[in-house]
Amino acid sequence: MSAREKYAVIQGMAHQYSIQLLCDLAQVSRSGYYKWLQRQTYLSPKQIEGQKIKERIKEYHAKLKGIYGYRRVMVWLRRRHGLQLNHHKRVQRLMRSSGRNAPTMARKKCMSFHKII
């Protein structure tokens, strides 16, 4: 069980038991739990920007019926919205996390024959 899952269980049981006791039983630090709790309610400026980019990707993906991948989406974001995105990895990660991937072609099976000796 990951620490995030443990923190979620602790949050669910926090009204019945003390946080210190639950953290001890789950073998996680109390400060880690409170940091996790704070991250659940507070979004960083980069996360807010990422949500805005996701909305634009969603708009573009729907407009073109999802045929373009992250490279063309990144070019579109630069040209249309003037976003200065340095790495394609961010656009790729945002597309993947929102379930918007371009369709890929199936690999062709090799049909060459070798001589049997």
For the chain, give every domain's residue range. Answer: 3-41, 45-97
Q: Determine the 3-state secondary structure of 54 from DSSP.
A: helix
pLDDT for position 116? 60
Which whole-number Å values give the CA distances from 11 to 40, 43, 54, 66, 98, in the listed order?
A: 11, 19, 29, 38, 26
Whole-prediction pTM: 0.55
pLDDT tens digits for the chain (117 residues)? Answer: 888 899 999 999 999 999 999 999 999 999 999 999 888 888 888 888 888 888 888 888 878 777 777 788 888 888 887 877 777 788 888 888 877 776 666 777 776 666 565
Nearest-angstrom CA–CA distance, 33 and 72: 40
